Amino acid sequence: MRFRPSAANGRVWRIGVLLLALGAAAVPASAQDDETDLFWSGQNLERQGDWQGALALWATAPDSSIGTGRSDPRIGPAFIAAALAHDAQDRLEEASRLYLWGFSGREVEAHREEVLLEARRIVPLLTQRDSARWQPLLDGETGPLARRIARFWLEHDPTPESVLNERLVEHWKRIVEARDRYRYNLSSAYETDDRGIVFVKYGPPDTRSRGHLGASEMELKIRVEDSRARMIMRRYDPNPQYELWKYGGLNPEEFTFYL
């Protein structure tokens, strides 16, 4: 279903209906849990409630890899997500630095799945043209893709003279919020349902409404013209939920979203 613009009070709106499909989230493969692995040790601390200990441990990662050429792209996203989840504003400069370090090393092949996952968190932010340009990177070697991820956030840093990357922080702030709010399923790269994809790209909508599609077959026919689509919807959910999000001021020429 395509999002279509409509005119209202002289403004251009992008309107989308999000159908919340059932489905299990795909969980990326991870390295073996190892007591000597800083990432997993920090994860264990965070699970035990010691998020500050986790941040302190992860912060030692760059020093521990000096002279090896290795970096760990798992640590930056975990650090920034934990810092934001606990409103640790004083750790966000460190989070920005750790994130870039994690994706700038020469030897990241061991973490290909994590690098691909992070790239998939960026692709929904891109225009259709830029998304096509990223595809060869996704299909190529891990190192160039990791470094392109780091460069993407450097290019979008509104204050390059400072350590703090506000755009990166805002991106992860939205991811953390979306993970808390939009959990009908965890099928997206953000570990959210489809609403999370829209929320991370555009932020909260100007207005929203929700309900159920197809209280009767006639109503469903009015809302969904494709008979095959109606059949699939009825098979998976006889009374599917929807949310209608409206955004004002989006670029009418830009690709918005497909479901």
Could you say which residues of the chain have pLDDT below 70? Answer: 1-36, 214-215, 251-259
pTM of the model: 0.78
Q: What is the edge-to-edge ordering of all strands in the sheet holding 11-19?
A: 4-8, 11-19, 241-248, 207-212
| Residue indicated by tokens 């499909």 | 21
Residue 249 in contact with residue 22, Cβ under 8 Å?
no
Same domain (yes/no): 8, 49: no
Residue 82 in contact with residue 55, Cβ under 8 Å?
yes
pLDDT of residue 122: 97
List phi, psi (to 5°) of 98: -65, -40
Whether residue 258 is contained in a domain is answered as no
CB atoms within 10 A of CB 236: 11
Whether residue 32 is contained in a domain is answered as no
Same domain (yes/no): 204, 169: no
Say which amino acid occupies 151: R
Whether residue 259 is contained in a domain is answered as no
Same domain (yes/no): 60, 180: yes
Residue 105 in contact with residue 70, Cβ under 8 Å?
yes
pLDDT of residue 17: 42
Whether residue 208 is contained in a domain is answered as yes
Q: How many domains does the chain have?
A: 2
| Residue range(s) defining the domain that contains residue 225 | 4-21+195-248
pLDDT of residue 59: 97
Whether residue 29 is contained in a domain is answered as no
pLDDT of residue 23: 41
| CA gap 106, 69 in Å, rounded | 6
Same domain (yes/no): 208, 169: no
170 bridge partner residues: none
Same domain (yes/no): 76, 137: yes
| CA gap 259, 246 in Å, rounded | 16
Q: Among residues 158, 116, 159, 153, which one has the least CA distance to residue 137?
A: 116
pLDDT of residue 9: 42
Same domain (yes/no): 182, 111: yes
pLDDT of residue 102: 96
